[in-house]
Amino acid sequence: MFTLSPSRRSFLAAASAGALTLTLAACSGGSAEQTAPEDVKTLTVIAANSPWTEGLKTLATEYQQKTGVQVKIEAYGNEQLNDTYKVKLNASSSDFDVMAFQVQDVMREFSRNGWLTDMTDYVSSDADWDWEDFQQPAREAVQLDDVVYGVPVMTEREIVYYRKDLLQQAGIPVPKTLDELKTAVSTLNDPATGTFGIAMRGSRVPLVTQYSSFLYSFGGDFQGKDGEATIDSPEAQQAFQFYGDLLRSDGPPGVTNMGWVEASALFAQGKSAFYIDADSQAYTFLDPTKSSVVDTVGFAQFPAGPAGSKFYNIVPQTVGINEFSTKKDAAWEFIKWATSKENTARLLSENTVPGARESAWADASAAEAFPAELVDIIRNAGESGVGHDRPQLEQVAQAREIVGGPAIAAIEGGDVAAAAKDAQKQFQDLLDSEG
């Protein structure tokens, strides 16, 4: 038998301490203890890559100069962003404070999981900051059961992008109705010369949000008044058929593998006469380094269907506070500053961020940076805009996969009615499972 030497003892002590630290680190949750704003030296923001996030990088530098608080920004692609949140928040992580999220994708789920801070008192705390200045639909979009979970920082609508030159050559006016759109698309479809009639999302999940405006304009919706599934309604089936026919007859090959990245690339390269998607992509086509249609791209309001021109008008980016953050008040101070009237107008004019403040849009010099046609559509959104672009429930991702089914059947020329009936049952089951 041998005895422990002092060095062995300290080694054992260090080893046990190490193991204990690991165990505690694995077991500990986020601490609710808050740091006073004046003691906060750094804040961490997690956001999706977007014009707003780009603008925020400049604002963050200025904020540091003004207050001494360093703001670190981590930006991800949309899908990676949600994965990052799920991993970090499932572990009650407090290593980030400000979180930009997509209201429609995750707000229900995240708020029920207890991951989002209730910001109701924050937004009403400062009259000068002026919560009421935010567009009403945008304010409504970030609330659930009268609780505010974030501040809307971007708005977005579905619009029609078209090639002015091609329409002019063929003597076709800008389509005002879906029927006119269909005729124009088939007239301009010329695969032999490498120009397709239309490019749109055809991939099962991504297409759902862009199908939504077709659905509304045909008079349907994903859910009825009581939240029940309505995706096999005659209107929904007509919309599925219309969407599928457009892409099957006059769209590019391989369309069921296309999200907005692929479809917008075709339009930017001059290989498509029409492109229908969110207006936030307008600046891709106006950027000479990314687009060969800078001088020929036109913007038009979503065409009218049997129920009129009804397009989504949503809040794609909202900025909230991590419930597990230890610097909530400091996080709010930064959000308040970044979303002030002055900075919203600045982001609108300098970074073309379509903000949600009425005052920014009323400022003619700030809105000048936007093409006039686009500003008209945005101002008209009040009458035609629908506040959502996907099913409204907690399990949005699963619902989108279900709703995409009949659209794929339509694109592939399959039995839309049977696919819609099947999807309706699955969607209703999913809604029922949430109670």
Question: What are the residues binding another protein (CB under 8 A)?
Answer: 1-4, 8-9, 12, 15-16, 18-19, 22-23, 26, 29, 79, 82-83, 86, 89-90, 92, 109, 112-115, 194, 196, 202-206, 252-259, 262, 265-266, 269, 271, 394-395, 397-398, 401, 404, 408
Residue given tokens 């686009």 in the structure block: 374
Round to whole Å and give the CA distance between 431 and 151: 28
Q: Which is nearer to another protein, 183 or 257 (CB)?
A: 257
Q: Which is nearer to another protein, 29 or 413 (CB)?
A: 29
Round to whole Å and give the CA distance between 232 and 424: 6
Q: How far is the CB of 354 from another protein (least distance, A)?
A: 27
Collapsed DSSP state (helix, strand, coil) of residue 292: coil
Q: Which is nearer to another protein, 68 or 194 (CB)?
A: 194
Q: Which is nearer to another protein, 205 or 375 (CB)?
A: 205
Residue given tokens 């959104």 in the structure block: 381
Burial (0-12, 13-18, 19+ Cβ within 10 Å), 7: exposed
Round to whole Å and give the CA distance between 296 and 305: 26
Strand partners, 177: 304
Q: How far is the CB of 49 from another protein (least distance, A)?
A: 15
Q: Which is nearer to another protein, 254 or 288 (CB)?
A: 254
Q: Which is nearer to another protein, 58 or 84 (CB)?
A: 84
Q: Which is nearer to another protein, 73 or 408 (CB)?
A: 408
3-state helix vs strand vs coil in the chain, percent to 5: 50, 15, 30
Q: How far is the CB of 119 from another protein (least distance, A)?
A: 20
Contact 175, 301 (CB under 8 A): no
Query: φ, ψ for residue 403 (rounded to 5)?
Result: -65, -30
Number of alpha helices (DSSP H) and beta strands (DSSP E) in the chain: 19, 11
Q: Which is nearer to another protein, 26 or 364 (CB)?
A: 26
Q: How far is the CB of 22 from another protein (least distance, A)?
A: 6
Round to whole Å and give the CA distance between 344 and 154: 10
Q: Which is nearer to another protein, 88 or 157 (CB)?
A: 88
Q: How far is the CB of 297 from another protein (least distance, A)?
A: 18
Q: How far is the CB of 197 from another protein (least distance, A)?
A: 13
Collapsed DSSP state (helix, strand, coil) of residue 371: coil
Q: How far is the CB of 51 from another protein (least distance, A)?
A: 23
Round to whole Å and give the CA distance between 390 and 207: 10
Query: β-strands 98-101, 42-48: how paired?
Result: parallel
Q: Which is nearer to another protein, 91 or 375 (CB)?
A: 91
Q: How far is the CB of 321 from another protein (least distance, A)?
A: 17
For residue 336, give the amino acid letter.
Answer: K
Structure-block tokens of residue 266: 């075709």
CA distances from 107 to 87, 159, 278, 296, 319 (A): 16, 25, 21, 38, 11
H helix intervals, 178-316: 178-188, 207-217, 234-250, 260-268, 282-285
Q: How far is the CB of 89 from another protein (least distance, A)?
A: 7
Round to whole Å and give the CA distance between 397 and 404: 11
Q: Which is nearer to another protein, 3 or 289 (CB)?
A: 3
Helix (H) or strand (E) holding 146: none
Q: How far is the CB of 35 from another protein (least distance, A)?
A: 23
Round to whole Å and give the CA distance between 341 and 366: 11
Q: How far is the CB of 269 from another protein (least distance, A)?
A: 6
Residues 6+ apart with CB under 8 A from 4: 12
For residue 66, give the amino acid letter.
Answer: K
